[in-house]
Amino acid sequence: MIRFDKVNFSYGKKEILKDFSLNINDGDKVCFFAPSGFGKTTLLRLIMGLEKVRSGELSGIDDKKISVVFQEDRLLPNKTVLQNIELFADTEDIPSVIERLGLSDAQDMYPHALSGGMARRTAIARALCRQADIYIFDEPFNGIDQKNVEKTAEIIREVTRDKTVLLVTHDRDQAEILGATIVDISESM
């Protein structure tokens, strides 16, 4: 269980989280929802260990393997689609994931030659080809057309079926398509 207990966090003098508390059970699918500036991505960064809690306690993440899709695709420009996916992969399912995400014809292409949606699906494929306890998706469907959103959501649901999924999006439909419970963090501030 991931547990936020009266967590406080600020960037300089700008308070982002104040006495934030939440329990997330193993296998839960949770979407952090709020207007910009309310700390959605900050919550993910705290869980990933990229930021530290200023006060309060965050527990339940030690020794957990995490796989992430950041807001930016973060593809290495000198690696092909396949090479970017293989970087952190620890599963044999790479060909299947590539095919199901519609990337088979693009696997030898470099990021500069990809459309925005193809780059995004490559970032998602990279995360899904890594076995993890927690999957984090920050605005996962940015740049992906509706037809591919549905296909992408289907494979995300399958791969993460029994795993904890944490999601940030501004679109309630995207949370619903992934089966996530919406936690409006603006209401807890």
Residue 37: per-residue pLDDT: 80
For residue 87 the two structure tokens come to: 């970087």
Residue 92: per-residue pLDDT: 87
pLDDT per 10-residue tile (average), the chain, 189 residues: 95 90 96 87 95 95 95 96 94 92 96 96 97 96 92 95 94 91 80
Q: Smallest Cα–Cα separation from 128: which of 88, 162, 168?
A: 88
Task: Tell me, rounded to whole angstroms, the distance of Cα 115 from its chain centroid.
Answer: 20
124: Cβ–Cβ under 8 A, 6 or more apart, which residues?
69, 101, 137, 140, 152, 156
Residue 36: per-residue pLDDT: 82
Please tell me the distance from the alpha carbon of residue 46 to that of residue 38, in angstroms, as a whole number.
Answer: 14
Residue 188: per-residue pLDDT: 59
- Tell whether the torsion through CA atoms of 29, 37, 171 and 125 is positive or negative: negative
Alpha helices in 10-145 (DSSP H): 40-48, 81-86, 94-100, 116-128
Helix (H) or strand (E) holding 35, with range, is: none
Please tell me the distance from the alpha carbon of residue 62 to that of residue 114, in angstroms, as a whole number.
Answer: 36
Compute CA distances 130 → 17, 67, 78, 126, whole Å: 30, 6, 21, 7
Please tell me the distance from the alpha carbon of residue 31 to that of residue 132, in angstroms, as a whole number.
Answer: 18
**Residue 10 class from Cβ within 10 Å (0-12 exposed, 13-18 middle, 19+ buried)?**
middle
